[in-house]
Structure 1
Amino acid sequence: MKPFTKLLPLLILLAACKPQDPAPAATSTTEFERLQARAERVEIIRDDFGIPHIYAATDADAVFGMLYAQAEDDFPRIERNYVWAIGRLAELEGEDALYSDVRARLYMTLDEAKAAYAQAPPWLRALCDAFADGLNYYLATHPEQPPRLLERFEPWMPMFFFEGSIGGDIEYVPLAGIKAFYGGEPALESAARPDPAPRLNASNGFAISGKHTASGDAMLLINPHTSFYFRGEQHVVSEEGLNAYGAATWGQFFIYQGFNERTGWMHTSTFVDFMDEFVEEVSEVDGQLVYRYGDELRPVESYEVTLAYRDGAALAERTFTLYRTHHGPITHVLEGRWVATRINWDPARALAQSYTRTKLDNHAAFRAMMDMRTNSSNNTVFADAEGNIAYYHGNFVPRRDPQFDYAQPVDGS
């Protein structure tokens, strides 16, 4: 990062990153020079609390600095988040983690993630490129912090990790059912859905309208309700209208909960039912697995995934055949029948919504952004500089035929 020529009071300057050591093998000399040139366009200043304030001309360069600063603060958590998200957790944690990896690849393969990145809007691809560049530059300049597994970050990886929530949609799909189906374990009928019983803990945020404050300004209290180290605190500024302060989940390039000059937003956990299960009627015809949908028989999609897992000091491999219907991936068995579980999986659109949210300046624009409807695992509390407040209960509910009870698995035919 280029030197900051005007040292502000009570701020600590992060000096330029120009290591004497050569770039590691994962980064070519040409690429390292490109990353160095990019770093020269970014300023990172840390205040007395160690919070990074990132400044750049473009949003993409600001994201580069944002991820670099995150890595300085907690690279191991960034790496672990992506190892989990892309389905490689078993390479670190052993065979018991295989079904977490299976779940990830049920909802998206590596090729599908690369395609989602390639088809994303150019501005979003630029942010994903900056994400990868920032982390790869950190690795190239910090040989004392070797990664446990991911020696290089790729711009398609955020397609797997697009929710800032501590519990994203995919985590509502129980691993027990996946293990029973794909691992040959005894079927666990109760594994179909999480226990819906009320819990004693809760999630909250507070917004007070300007009509009820002495100043006439709205007030927003953000309760992060996470473990202490789950997110980092950052201030990210560009000359393209980005000026957001708040908490970012490690490895993500948007402020998940926070504020800009005109608006503030926070999220609470939602119990809106955004997940559907479809009991499929599967049979075999001429050696092909098919399922009934209306009057037709459709082929069951199947594909093989080979996953590595740690076995002592070595790595072993296991190959799984995974299945999908148009309703979603097959995740478990219910009374002897295959069940497909559908969640709101739209990675590029979800990333676009999460990033766009940080740059809006009034409630009308915020309301229009919420119509993207990909923030399905959270409620949203909002306040703005005009004194407005708002609460959004969830952000996505599937369109459902009212003749069926979608609180239970429904007949997929």
Structure 2
Amino acid sequence: MSRSKTRNEWFRNKLLVACTAMAFALPAAAQSLSAPGMSAPGRISWDAEGIPTIDAANDNDAAFLQGYAHARDRFFQMDLTRRSVSGTLAELVGASQLSSDVQARNLGLRRGAVKTWAQMSDDSRGWLRAYADGVNFWLSTNPLPPEYGALLLTHADPWTPVDSLCVGKGLAFQLSFDLDIDPTINLGAYQQAGQAGGFDGSILYFGDTHRIAPADDRVTVPGFQPGVASATASASPAPKLETPHDAPAVGSISAETIDMARAFREQIQASPLLGRALEGRDTPIGSNEWVIAGSKTASGKPILSNDPHLGLDLPSVFMEQHLLSRDTRYPTSMDVTGVTVPGAPGVIQGCNQRVCWGTTTNSLDVTDVFQESLRLNSYGLPYAIVHDGQEETLQWVFQNYYVNRLNG
């Protein structure tokens, strides 16, 4: 079976089980909850559209009930997300995702989540524990979502606070990681073509087809910017522009490097976590937000609009909730409504009684790729890499991978 077919079948099956779950997730009227770990009874009520309102005695109880509500409607999605980030997806869906698990563990976002957990304050850890307790209370008192039956599974791992941190790190990673390995492959192809055709492929690449010129303070519309001469004006000479001969000295990219880059690209293109990073600048990510003042609206109240430009998934990335906390530690109660991320407590975009907020991101180059040489010991096993002529000792991390073979 080809990789593309395997990936298509995986996402088609994901869509099917997601639609099945939506058919079973019917709105309920209200539910009062009292459970171990809660300081006082709380209440969750759902409106006609299935949006829950959570009413709790304090912030930790609100997190508990939020975890319960998330698990009720989105636990399978939460399980998929934490496993994609942690590198345990094959345990759930089968061998088709084993290679993705290897790449996710190499990346190490879960190892980073464990370190983050160790550095958090007691208050933050208590909040995350309360959320996990709410998820697990739902798991202990309800049957698993129908997707698990389709996967021939009768058990789901309990939720942990580190799982919530993995959800957050996975979302942040997908908004920032850019694997610009294609330019390396393309530049190598230009150089190879230049060697065969008798021209400098690097100059063609940087000076023509992928030219990046320095800033030019001229403008093409006269008077568009006061005090700045137009491109047709003769008041000031045009700044010297970069010539093709000023192309950066990148050196020749070897055929071995190009082959390794292509092989790595092939390895990760089917990964749910890493595949989107390969789209690079051809499909740039971003987001936007804007505000209209109350003086410009019929109601006299300002309007905040925010589009985070996240992917259109089913189920969606967000879930709307209304949180009420009557925590006596604070002078006013928490009353916030907005969208949440299933798997993590809090409201990421929304409004309270005083302010509204959104989120936005900007595409930045945060990723570098290195070709490293290994030093091998007498057993033929690597013990170090060579960077800038210096050996850097490798740290071995032993991993166990498990696969749901019944679903394979």
What band does the TM-score fall into relative to the shorter chain?
Answer: 0.5 to 0.7
Aligned-pair CA distance for 1:77: 1.6
Does 1:152 pair with 2:152? no
Determine the structure 1 residue equivalent to 2:366. Answer: 274
Instruction: Confirm or deny: 8 A CA contact 1:232 1:247 kept in the other structure.
Output: yes
Cα offset for 1:312? 4.1
Higher strand share: 1
Q: 2:309 matched to 1:222?
A: no
Structure with the larger RCO, 1 or 2 (CA within 8 Å, 6+ apart): 2
User: How far apart, CA to CA, are the structure 1 residues paired with 2:37 and 2:173?
Assistant: 37
**Which residue of structure 1 lines up, in the alignment, with residue 383 of structure 2?**
289
Q: Could you say if the C-alpha distance between residues 221 and 40 of structure 1 is closer, same or farther in structure 2, counting changes exceeding 3 Å?
A: same
How far off is 1:272 after superposition? 2.1
Unaligned runs of 5+ in 2: 1-26, 183-258, 266-276
The Cα offsets for residues 356-411 of structure 1, whole Å up to 9 and x where unpaired, read as: xxxxxxxxxxxxxxxxxxxxxxxxxxxxxxxxxxxxxxxxxxxxxxxxxxxxxxxx
- Is residue 65–residue 134 contact of structure 2 (8 Å, CA) maintained in 1? yes
Asked if the contact 1:67–1:135 (Cα under 8 Å) also holds between the matched residues in 2, the reply is yes
Change over 3 Å in CA distance of 1:14–1:187 after alignment to 2: same
Q: Report if aligned partners of 2:351, 2:357 keep a CA contact under 8 Å in 1.
A: yes
Q: Distance in 1 between matches of 2:174 and 2:406?
A: 31
CA contact (8 A) 1:207 1:221 kept: yes
Aligned with 2:30 (options 11, 14, 18)? 14
Listed one character per residue, the Cα deviations across residues 76-119 of structure 1 (whole Å, up to 9, x for unaligned) are 22222223222211112222211322233223376664453233
Q: Which residue of 2 aligns with 1:79?
A: 79
Q: 1:221, CA displacement in angstroms?
A: 1.7
Q: Show CA shifts across 1:144-197 (max 9, x none).
A: 647655231122222321148497258755999xxxxxxxxx844275562434
Query: Which range moves more in the overlay, 282-291 or 48-57?
Result: 282-291
CA gap of 1:272–1:204, structure 2 versus 1, over 3 A, is: same
Check whether the contact 1:292–1:298 (CA below 8 A) recurs between aligned residues: yes
Given that 2:44 and 2:52 are in contact with CA atoms closer than 8 Å, whether structure 1 keeps it comes out as yes
Farther off after superposition, 167-176 or 144-153: 167-176
1:254 paired residue among 306, 329, 346? 346
CA distance in 2, matches of 1:118, 1:237: 29
Between structures 1 and 2, the one with greater helix share: 2
Would the aligned equivalents of 1:164 and 1:248 in 2 still touch at CA under 8 Å? no
Q: Work out the percentage of aligned pairs sharing the same amino acid.
A: 25
Alpha carbons of 1:201 and 1:162: their partners in 2 closer, same or farther (altered >3 Å)?
A: closer
The residue type paired with residue 102 of structure 2 is V
Give the partner amino acid of 1:206: W
Residue 192 of structure 2 is aligned to residue 106 of structure 1: no
Contact 2:39/2:57, CA 8 A, preserved across alignment: no
Q: 1:170 to 1:228 in 2, by over 3 A?
A: same
Give the CA deviation at 1:17. 4.6
Q: What is residue 320 of structure 2 aligned with on the other side?
A: 233
AA paired with 2:174? G
For structure 1, the residue ranges without an aligned partner over 5 or more in a row are 1-10, 19-34, 177-185, 315-413
TM-score of the superposition, structure 1-length normalised? Answer: 0.57
Structure 1's 43 and 222: CA in aligned 2 closer, same or farther, altered over 3 A? same
C-alpha distance in 2 between matches for 1:207 and 1:163: 28
Indicate the residue corresponding to 1:124 in structure 2.
124
Aligned equivalents of 1:189, 1:311: Cα separation in 2: 30
Tell me if 1:302 matches 2:375: no
The alpha-carbon deviation at position 313 of structure 1 amounts to 5.0
Q: CA deviation at 1:125?
A: 0.6
Residue in 2 that maps onto 1:311: 405
AA in 1 matched with 2:30:
L
Query: Is contact 1:131–1:253 with CA below 8 Å preserved after alignment?
Result: yes
Q: How does 1:304-383 map to 2 (within 5 A)?
A: 304-313=398-407
Kept in 2, the 8 Å contact 1:100–1:175? The answer is no
1:189 corresponds in structure 2 to 262
Q: Is the 8 A contact 2:385 2:394 kept in 1?
A: yes
Larger mean Cα displacement after TM superposition, 39-48 or 108-117: 108-117
* Aligned residue number for residue 359 of structure 1: none
1:168 alignment partner in structure 2: 174
Structure 1 segment 127-146 matched on structure 2, within 5 A: 127-143=127-143, 145=145
- For residues 111 and 295 of structure 2, the distance between their equivalents in structure 1, rounded to whole angstroms, comes to 52
Q: Secondary structure at the match of 1:79?
A: helix
Aligned residue type for 2:141: T
Contact 1:246 1:259 in 2 (8 A): yes
Task: Determine which structure has more spread, i.e. the larger CA radius of gyration.
Answer: 2
1:6 is matched with: none
Q: Deviations over 1:39-74 (max 9, x none)?
A: 843221223332111122322111111111122223
Code of the aligned partner of 1:245: T
Asked if 2 retains the 8 angstrom alpha-carbon contact of 1:222 and 1:258, the reply is: no
Residue type of the alignment partner of 1:308: Y
Give the whole-Å Cα distance in 2 for the aligned partners of 1:144 and 1:309. 20
SS of equivalent residue, structure 1 residue 302: coil
The 2-side partners of 1:156 and 1:128 are apart by 8
Give the deviation of 1:126 after TM superposition.
0.8
Q: 1:258: Cα distance to partner?
A: 1.7
Q: Residues 38 and 199 of structure 1: is their aligned pair in 2 closer, same or farther, counting only changes over 3 Å?
A: same
CA contact (8 A) 1:164 1:252 kept: no
Q: Are the aligned partners of 1:99 and 1:175 in contact in 2 as well (CA < 8 Å)?
A: no
